[in-house]
Structure 1
Amino acid sequence: MHLFDAYTIFKWQMPNFYRKPGLAYQKLAQHRHRDIFDRVWTGDYDDRYISAWDGRVSKLVVQAVDEIYDNNVTSTHRRTFIRNISPLFMRLANWPFNHIDYTKTGNPTSEDYPLLCLKWFIASCLITMVISSPTGVAEGTSRNGGMYDLVPYVYHGYPKVARNVREMDRTSGYAVSQTNPIAERVLRPRYLCFLREHGEPAMIMNVEEWITQYKRERDLSYIFVAYTAEQFQSTEDLMVLHQIADAAARNAGATAYWVGCSCMPDPSELTQDVYRICDIIRGAQSLIIAVSRPPNDMQGINTTDLMLQQWGQRIWTFPEVLLAPAGKEIKVYTRGSDFMQPIIVAKNQFAAKVWKNDAHIARQLIDHYEGNLILSQLELVTLALECLHKRQTTQYLPGDHSYALMGLLRVRPQIDPTDSAFQAFARLSLANGSDQLLERLICVNPKNPNQPWHCMEDAFESKLWDILPLDVGIAGIAEDDSIILDGCRAANVRWKSFAPVAYTRRDSWKRMIARTMLRLGGVVFLIAIVLLLFPLTMIVGVVLLVYSIILMALSPWLLRLIYLGKLWEQQCWFFGKYMEIDAIERQIFGGRMGRMKWTPAASPLSRHHRNEHGECIGDDPTSDPMVADMVQRGKTAGPGEQRIFTLVDTGNMTATLFQAERPPVCFLMAGAEGGMRRIIGCSYDWSTATFYRETVLRIETKFEDSMKRISRVKIGFKRKQHPFDVIDQVGEAYGQQVE
């Protein structure tokens, strides 16, 4: 009936009828896309996907139930109404039973029989007119050897950082021989404050010159003085800081001390010196902390404990404690107190005393550097990154958090001021291996849709080390906070309509008899009519006529007998939409046959229960009021808001409810966890040839071989929302193929 709606538009390509979106993206620029066959498309920004049929970048059309199709004002993509693609004779065969609610009684009741008989009679007559003998059309046609539709994608661009030097852009800032330049470690500080006689200020001197002049390399020992500029700012504050450092060095029996305000005097080396402080800490005899009440204190920071806690909130102070010499206590000097009696804090108690907000996590890191509890590199990076992002900093470069983390790791890339925070972290991860951290991170399903990339909280409650990459690897880091991932298995999602599903069933003598009877029914009827015309054969004609009428009456039952039952193998399809599982089955197979099931644990919205036999049974997710409320809110969601979708997987005959901002146009299999495979649902930004993670689902391992691998794919963590407006003001997006 939607064909007669005033807003339904006709076009030649499938689907032939659709409705325009209510919103459109603003036309800020013309964009270009080059597909796998080197065809170039240019045009305005809009929602598109890569067609599995011809590899073109095509407009995204999503089939929707009536309620959503009629309310199209909040979408930026086209919508079409749902079509039943099952054979007409199968719909007729199942039509008499459609009004029966099997979930309540399991069988027809006395109230159902009158209508059932009437519909049965009508269906019997129509089936005879529609079909004379059933054919294989009900099973559909196999494609791709039964595998999921492939994703015809190729990335033509350059990475910002590549693993292999030959893939780097020769016009970039780095030499071709430096795909990810590594910074050299320093064996000792370049400058130190050397002690002189009591009462005289320390002498700031180049260490190499000091060794050459005094020939005392063996006697060189120094302490590291940790402080924060929040507490020591003015010239007077820094003089007091030097007094504390001088006293602390003499108490420790050291020759010199290192303090940041005086030991980095060369402006040309300042940037590199800041990020090499970790090497200076590692070479120090001990660590001392100087604290003071901050100038213009409005928070009542007037005790040593509070001053120390403020010091511990800064990002650069965190690695200073972790890298302090193992087994040695940390001495805390407070401005205005007796410098001969500093407060002593055991390093293994520092987290509980100072880092109260994340003490349990920070203590694990301290134990690691103390040698009491050795973490894997993956655990180290994950826990340290979590702690660093909870701390405050005055940003010098966008990648400061990653540069602070860099000091904790063995290999350190050179600082690149053009790096974003993510790019700095990605280059650090590439340089250190980090147990394929990025490959694992992209497989995380964010617990909060707006959580930043560095937050590793998973909606499935799994840890990063629980996810195992599946023969995939990072080939490079792209310019726009995305990665180039190689080796993924991929499957396209069909949103515009359902398609006939090919399947294999085991034959039986009942099906063979039913098939023979139906195939002979039309022929017998014609023979009966002919025989009735002659007196000598009238009796035989009457018998055959009665036989054909009986077959006509039994045709719905015979058809169901032939096509009902369990399926052994099915054509693998990913269909996308949202509707009830019984309605999905009717649209694909022509009736409710109990083949489709809800997945028990494929999505954070999946639900299940234990039956009386101890078996795990998937439930309708909307049986949970919280999920049902999400479904209702999703019906009116606009761009940038979470919507509810259903992924129909005919390979496993399951349906999975999930949440995402945009319809995922493909799924990339990249990881394994908990005995299942993780597939990343991605939308496609054709203007940059980038797939963006919209959701992550879980699928059974046996379907890994049902997806074909694709070459390098550019994938991002979070897609930015393009500016949009009402379509009547912006107008539809237009484009054309130019090559």
Structure 2
Amino acid sequence: MAPNQTQLSIYEMESQGSVAYHRDDAEKDNRSLIPRNGPMRLKGFSHIRAPFTKVKFEAPHFYRKPGLAYQKISQHRHRDVFDREWTGDYDDRYISAFDGRVSKLVVQATDDIYENNVSSTYRRTFIVNIAPLFMRLANWPFNHVDYSKNGKPTSEDYPLLCLKWFVASCIIPMVISTPFGTAQGQARNGGAYDVVPYQYWGYPKVAKNALEMDRTRSFAVSQANPVAERVLRPRVLCFLRDHGDPAMVMNVEDWISQYEAENNLSYVFIAYTAEQFQSAEDMRVLHQIADAAARNAGAMAYWVGCSCMPDPSEMIQDVYRICDVIRGAQSLAIAVGRPPNDTRGINTTDLMLQQWGQRVWTFPEVLLAPQNKDIKVYTRGQDLMQPVSVAKNQFAVKVWKNDAHVARQLIDHYEGNLILNQLELVTLALECLHKRETTQYLPGDHSYALMGLLRVRPQIDPTDSAFQAFARLSLANGSEQLLERLICVLPKSPNQPWHSMDDAFGTKLWDILPQDVAIAGIGEDDTIILDGCRAANVRWKSFAPVAYTRRPTMKRWLAQKMLRMGGVVFLVAAILLAMPTSRPYGAILLIYSIILMGLSPWLLRLLYLGKFWDQQCWLFGFEGYMDMDTIESQIFGGRMGRMKWTAAASPLSRHRRNDNGECVPLDPTSDPEIAALVQKAKHAGPGEQRIFTLVDTGNMTATLFLAERPPVCFLMSGSEGGMKRLIGCSYDWTTSTFYRETVIRMETKFADSMKAISRVKIGFKRTQHPYGLLEQVGEANGQQVA
């Protein structure tokens, strides 16, 4: 399936009944535009009655099988951090923070997704309220009140509220003294997020340190990333002879030995494109143009690719050494002509020159041309003594019209007018090169063209993919940690190529600062080995009780004593009432205990309301959207105002300025585009963008985000704009590779709550494995080997 179009217009949403309020009103009141009748209520354990709900021994005990399954192409093996091996069919798994095993992925989902959507390849379970029983009882009287209407109960709500208050008052005293009376979970990991017990056991294709290279490779161990030597002069040139005689193609070293004129060697670089010069007659005309260009420039020779790279055995290296030939040239001359099979009307010098400028290999030829010298353009069939002269600093606006603003910065850099740092140079050059066309010679041609612009050049490896060629180039040059920054970029669209620097947050690559991370190597399958990441596991199967710390107050102390005494006072009152002599005292105590019972929901809320000073850090995840009140009720038992949406953690986050000039986070679905996106994502299939919600109890926030797969962990690898960038990754257990699914931003104060892990193998884009209907393919099978 192709990725879905994730946004609907406001008009489409209104026609489908998706918009309940006007956008301005919704954002002002922070109301979701997703329609519902009253407060959101989850069905919870009532899903057990559904025919598709299955039962298993391990938690979560109830789940729904996926509607799709991956094709069983081959068996795979995984080795975990404790040296245990798992073999089986390809399926969706994650690394358990509990025992380090690679476990089957089960994702909790909202009711509408759990009930109606079977287009996933992973199991789903329903969301269960894990709040303490007595906290749910304390808030139960209010759970029918829709606070989104006017922020408080209405006259219609009070009858039912009173009835439920009475029932809760009778039950709470009995529950609070039972084992169900614990109000919070146990602290774990010293309050830090769950670790990611991961270990990468493989070899990189190229390591930063030669000692880590595979010794069975054909090259020496000391050459982790072999570097090519620069060429000081061309190997072959076409030397001019008398007028009318063709140039003499000769080895430069032989010419120097024969004529002893090394100091006087000067030549013109002749640039052309094979689109315009192809046949033998075209080559003859090309040499005529080159001869005239060299004579007009006062040079004794010229270099042209069709004749000066005669040795097939050296062809691969010569193609990628052209940049050195350009640097040594006296001047640059461009030969253009009308293409042999012209169907686009390319019949003027300007159009021919623009066609020439759209080729990858012509781009560095202009950039590296001698400074402060005009570029001469010779047109086939026109007067060769009157070439068109183009100033180098005007070449971008005249020829490279599609990316003139970017290309001009590069020209200014090589002219010495506006010096770019290496990160800016590589970023802008890569952007321009990938906008140009080429007849592929090797998969890494774009990177090899970029290589000519940089100082250190790795040797050409024909087995490199486009990404590997670029990664090796970046590794050799440092490039101010370009790869470390690039992995922190959130693509604007799901199909954005790896080389695009477009960030969904709207930042530039140089705005992202790597967070104590470094590239340790390059993987075999378009991946990088990243070291120094902090990591946190995401719990997708369910929420869990959260441990927390609050400051003791006199009101809480009194509320606690009164609640604890309620049952005891009632028992004493019953005893005294049974004794004739003490019945008056028993009646008084009975009335007092009844008052305590009646106040128990209020006392309980008083005891546990208020802010946390500290709490256990968890990352909970679920598929779909719930409002903040519902999320908080599922974890803490009621709407207490402790949790908020994030203001700028995701491209889906929303915020506004309040009357005091403060930034206030909004419910993302108060934006009609996000509300429509949430509705449409309910029916997403493999390869399409789904809506997920990440609940962070460390920051007490929730973040709505898009991803194709649920990220099983988050890797902290950079900082930007005063926040940390976390890469949400799915896990391909068959290759021990994490793949970037999303990127979110987190406040810095909880950075230390994530523990560093060993090197991780991480990829930019995960390939969609073939899949089919579960009934036809069958469930994946596997077993623990050792």
Deviations 1:361-418 (A, max 9, x none): 0000000000000001000000000100010100000000000000000000000000
* 2:202 aligned partner: 157
- Superposed displacement of residue 128, structure 1: 2.4
- Give the SS at the match of 2:687: coil
Provide the residue aligned with 1:105 in structure 2. 150
Q: Secondary structure at the match of 2:193?
A: coil
- State the alpha-carbon separation in 2 of the partners of residues 373 and 284 from structure 1: 23
User: Alignment partner of 2:490: what SS?
Assistant: coil
Structure 1 match to 2:752: 705
* Cα distance, 1:72 vs structure 2: 3.7
Partner Cα distance (1:528, 1:294) in 2:
105
Bigger CA drift: 691-700 or 529-538?
A: 529-538
Contact 1:134 1:519 in 2 (8 A): no
Give the AA of the match of 1:219: N
**What's the counterpart of residue 635 of structure 2?**
588
C-alpha displacement of 1:132: 3.0
What is aligned with 1:341?
A: 386
1:240 match: 285
How many Å apart are 1:135 and its aligned residue? 8.4
Match of 2:774 among 708, 723, 727: 727
Q: Which amino acid aligns with 2:515?
A: L
**Partner of 1:80: helix, strand, or coil?**
strand
**In the alignment, is the contact (CA less than 8 A) between 1:133 and 1:518 conserved in 2?**
no
Task: Show the counterpart of 1:535.
Answer: 580
Contact 1:194–1:203 (CA<8 Å) still a contact in 2? yes
Judge which range, 131-140 or 10-19, deviates more: 131-140
Cross-structure match for 2:783: 736
| Secondary structure, counterpart of 2:425 in structure 1 | helix
**Contact 1:132–1:518, Cα closer than 8 Å, also in 2:** no
- CA shift, 1:164, in A, is 0.5
CA–CA separation in structure 1 for the residues paired with 2:127 and 2:495: 32
Aligned residue among 475, 482, 498 for 1:430? 475
What residue is the counterpart of 1:485 in the other structure?
530
Partner of 2:546: 501
Secondary structure of the structure 2 residue equivalent to 1:714: strand
The size of the alignment, in residue pairs, is 739
Matched residue type, 2:84? R
Give the structure 2 partner of residue 75 of structure 1.
120
> Could you say what secondary structure the match of 1:92 adopts?
helix
1:459 aligns with 2:504: yes
Shift of 1:297: 1.2
Indicate the percent of aligned positions where both proteins have the same amino acid: 78
Residue 106 of structure 2 corresponds to 61
The answer as to whether partners of 1:195 and 1:256 remain within 8 angstroms in 2 is yes
2:174 matched to which residue of 1? Answer: 129
Q: 184-193 or 72-81, which moves further after superposition?
A: 72-81
Tell me if 1:33 matches 2:85. Answer: no
Partner of 1:624: 671
SS of 1:261's equivalent in the other structure is helix
Contact 1:84–1:586 (8 Å) recurs in 2: yes
Deviations 1:285-319 (A, max 9, x none): 00000011111211111111111011001100000
1:106 deviates by 2.7
TM alignment of 1:508-527, pairs within 5 A = 508-527=553-572
Paired residue type of 1:354: V
| Deviation of 1:134 (Å) | 9.3
Residue 391 (1) aligns with residue 433 (2): no
3-state SS of the aligned residue for 1:551? helix
Task: String of CA shifts for 1:88-116, please: whole Å, max 9, x gaps.
Answer: 10000001111223333233232222111
- 2:92 matched residue in structure 1: 47
Whether 1:205 and 2:250 are equivalent positions in the alignment is yes
Aligned residue number for residue 641 of structure 1:
688
Q: Distance in 2 between matches of 1:629 and 1:105?
A: 25
Number of the residue aligned with 2:720: 673
Which of 425, 429, 442 pairs up with 1:380?
425
2:660 aligns with 613
Q: Partner residue of 1:694?
A: 741
Conserved in 2, the CA contact under 8 Å of 1:492 and 1:665?
Answer: yes
Q: Are the counterparts in 2 of residues 133 and 519 from structure 1 also a CA contact under 8 Å?
A: no
Q: Which moved more, 1:196-205 or 1:717-726?
A: 196-205
Of 241-250 and 534-543, deviating more is 534-543
1:255-303: CA deviation from partner (whole Å, max 9, x where unpaired): 1100000001111111101100000000000000001111121111111
2:365 paired residue number: 320
- 1:204 is paired with a residue whose SS is strand
Q: SS of 2:751's equivalent?
A: helix
Task: Give yes or no for contact 2:169–2:600 (8 Å, CA) kept in 1.
Answer: yes
- CA contact under 8 A between 1:231 and 1:291: conserved in structure 2? yes
Structure 1 residue 225: deviation in Å?
A: 0.4
2:713–2:730 contact (8 Å) kept in structure 1: yes
Q: Distance in 2 between matches of 1:79 and 1:296?
A: 58
Whether the aligned pair in 2 keeps the contact of 1:598 and 1:654 (CA below 8 Å) is yes
SS of equivalent residue, structure 2 residue 703 = strand
CA-CA distance at 1:535 after TM superposition: 1.4
Q: Which amino acid aligns with 1:363?
A: R
Give the superposed CA RMSD: 1.0
Say if 2:69 is the partner of 1:24. Answer: yes
Instruction: State how far apart, in whole Å, the 2-side matches of 1:517 and 1:385 are.
Output: 70
Query: C-alpha distance in 2, partners of 1:249/1:615?
Result: 68
1:296 aligns to 2:341 (yes or no): yes
One-letter identity of the residue aligned with 1:284: A
Partner letter of residue 710 of structure 1? I
- 2:174 matched to 1:174? no
1:573 is aligned to 2:630: no
Contact 2:225 2:476 in 1 (8 A): yes
Q: Mapping of 1:181-260 within 5 angstroms?
A: 181-260=226-305
**Distance change (3 Å), C-alpha of 1:347 and 1:566:** same
CA distance in structure 2 between the partners assigned to 1:212 and 1:142 by the alignment: 81
| CA-CA distance at 1:528 after TM superposition | 1.2
**Are the equivalent residues in 1 in contact too, given 2:442–2:462 (CA < 8 A)?**
yes
The answer on whether the counterparts of 1:661 and 1:694 sit within 8 Å (CA) in structure 2 is yes
Q: Aligned partners of 1:128, 1:137: CA distance in 2, in Å?
A: 14
| Partner SS state of residue 658, structure 1 | strand
Query: After the TM superposition, which of the residue ranges 68-77 and 158-167 deviates more from structure 2?
Result: 68-77
Partner residue of 1:364 out of 409, 419, 433: 409
The answer to whether the 8 Å contact 2:175/2:181 transfers is no
Aligned equivalents of 1:367, 1:378: Cα separation in 2: 16
Separation of aligned partners in 2, 1:389 and 1:233: 24
CA positional deviation for 1:580? 1.9
Post-superposition offset of 1:136: 7.2
Residue 660 of structure 1 is matched in structure 2 by 707
Q: Distance in 1 between matches of 2:47 and 2:262?
A: 88
TM-score (structure 2 length as normaliser): 0.93
Contact 1:161 1:180 survives alignment (8 Å): yes
Q: Which runs of 4+ in 1 moved over 4 A?
A: 133-136
Distance 1:193 1:297 in 2: 30
Q: What is the CA distance between 1:133 and its match in structure 2?
A: 7.4
Q: What letter matches 1:200 in structure 2?
A: D
Aligned-partner residue type, residue 165 of structure 1: A
- Residue 42 of structure 2: aligned partner: none
Pick the aligned partner of 1:715 from 759, 762, 765.
Answer: 762
Q: Give CA deviations for 1:534-589 in whole Å, capped at 9, x if unaligned.
A: 11211111111111111111110010000011111111110101322211111101
Q: CA deviation at 1:174?
A: 2.2
Structure 1, unaligned runs of 5 or more: none
Secondary structure, aligned partner of 1:63 = strand
Distance change >3 Å, CA 136–CA 215, structure 1 → 2: farther
8 Å contact from structure 1 (residues 21, 727) kept in 2? yes
